[in-house]
């Protein structure tokens, strides 16, 4: 038995099948099957019920997975615990929804790198649901996401900011009535595969506003460019940390009942990188605070 085999066992439980686990740990299906068979032979117990078409964990197998997580977490934290750096060096695998990549993420990561120069941060963009799956599997250490309706078990949630939705329109547009603009212009929709997109759709339905869909895009940059060229209007979150070079657009309030996106940092509750994740969260909060200070007093922009 090895740590590698225990990681494979955990991947089987998290992904549901040997094939999916093979993709997660970058080995073949046959290798996963052989590793699991070897575990059962070494321990002399049935970890999987193979009477079903797709093998499933037995109650004993599920209990072993729980213990395997503790062993793997202890192994991963062995060197940091001896060196006393609590993971503040090496590599942090961080996921982030695209709307944060031009404002919040660079501002926070710059502060993190300045304070911990031996920490290398790798940022992977993605939509909330996919990032959640990767954090669950352990392929990402943490992710900046929109809060889903249901957070998977074993994941922590650390609030970063609340971002109200607003209407994006071209500067050539004369009207400032959001309902009129939504009903009388092509609508550039935020992807409904994203948590934000579903929030927007729910608000439109509850507000009884019928829109004329013309595009459905994932990235805020692409949406903003389309709106700037007067190809339609769109609804998007008001970024807690504005992009470095925001396109010239009119941004109109949707009123007191506007939907709000809760942005947060999620990670596994058994992560061996708890200290660096805490530091990352602190820098994200500071980036938001700095942006709020600049918004209230632009003279402070050169002080942070």
**Mean pLDDT confidence for 150-158:** 90
If pLDDT is split at 50, 70 and 90, which confidence band does 270 have?
A: confident
- The domains spanning 3-76 and 163-260 adopt the same CATH topology: no
Q: Give dist(CA 210, CA 86) in Å, integer.
A: 52
Average pLDDT, the chain: 88
CATH architecture, domain defined by 163-260: 3-Layer(aba) Sandwich (3.40)
Q: Residue 221 corresponds to which tokens in the numbers above?
A: 């940059």
CATH fold of the domain at 3-76? Arc Repressor Mutant, subunit A (1.10.10)
User: What SS3 state is found at 163?
Assistant: strand
Query: 96 has which bridge partners?
Result: 125, 144
The CATH code that applies to domain 86-161+262-302 is 3.40.190.10
User: Which residue, chain included where needed, has tokens 């068979």?
Assistant: 37
Give the Cα-Cα-Cα angle 253, 258, 261 (nearest 5 degrees). Answer: 110
Q: What is the pLDDT of residues 59-112, one digit of tens each?
A: 998 888 888 887 887 776 666 555 545 557 778 999 999 999 999 999 999 999
pLDDT at 187: 97
Domain ranges of the chain: 3-76, 86-161+262-302, 163-260
* pLDDT (average), residues 53-63: 88
pLDDT tier, 1 (very low <50, low <70, confident <90, very high otherwise): low
What's the pLDDT at 225? 93
Instruction: Evaluate whether 264 touches 159 at the Cβ level (below 8 Å).
Output: yes
State how far the Cα of 48 lies from the Cα of 33, in Å rounded to an integer.
Answer: 11
Whose tokens are 């993605």? That residue is 126
Question: Comparing 102 with 299, which gets the higher pLDDT?
Answer: 102
Q: How far apart are CA 181 and CA 226, in angstroms?
A: 15
CB atoms within 10 A of CB 44: 6
pLDDT value of residue 271:
83
Between CA 143 and CA 215 the distance in angstroms is: 27
Give the pLDDT band (50/70/90) at residue 274: confident
pLDDT for 244 equals 77
Tokens standing for 10? 């955990």
**Residue whose C-alpha is closest to residue 194's, from 249, 139, 125:** 125
Residue-wise pLDDT tens digits, 157-198? 999 999 999 999 999 998 999 999 999 999 999 998 899 999
Q: Which residue has the tokens 């829109």?
A: 211
């Amino acid at each position: 038995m090895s740590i590698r085999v225990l990681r494979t066992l955990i991947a089987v439980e998290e992904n549901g099948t040997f094939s999916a686990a093979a993709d997660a740990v970058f080995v073949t299906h046959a290798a996963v099957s052989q590793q699991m068979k070897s575990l059962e032979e070494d321990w002399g117990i049935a970890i999987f019920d193979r009477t079903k078409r797709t093998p499933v964990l037995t109650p004993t197998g599920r209990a072993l997975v729980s213990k395997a997580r503790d062993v793997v977490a202890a192994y991963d934290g062995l060197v940091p615990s001896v060196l006393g750096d609590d993971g503040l060096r090496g590599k942090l695998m961080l996921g982030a929804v695209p709307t944060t990549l031009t404002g919040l993420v660079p501002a926070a990561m710059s502060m993190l790198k300045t304070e911990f120069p031996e920490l290398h941060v790798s940022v992977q963009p993605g939509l909330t649901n996919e990032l959640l799956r990767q954090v669950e599997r352990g392929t990402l250490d943490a992710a900046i996401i929109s809060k889903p309706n249901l957070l998977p078990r074993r994941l922590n949630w650390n609030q970063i900011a609340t971002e109200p939705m607003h209407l994006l329109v071209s500067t050539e547009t004369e009207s400032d009535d959001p309902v009129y603009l939504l009903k009388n212009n092509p609508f550039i929709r935020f992807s409904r595969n994203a948590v934000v997109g579903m929030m927007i759709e729910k608000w439109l339905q509850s507000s009884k506003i019928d829109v004329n869909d013309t595009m459905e895009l994932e990235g805020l940059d692409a949406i903003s460019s389309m709106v700037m060229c007067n190809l339609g209007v769109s609804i998007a979150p008001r970024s807690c940390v504005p992009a470095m070079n925001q396109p010239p657009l009119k941004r109109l309030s949707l009123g007191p009942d506007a939907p709000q996106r809760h942005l947060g940092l999620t990670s596994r509750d058994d992560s061996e990188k708890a200290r660096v994740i805490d530091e990352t969260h602190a820098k994200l909060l500071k980036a938001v605070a700095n942006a709020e200070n600049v918004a209230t007093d632009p003279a402070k922009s050169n002080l942070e």
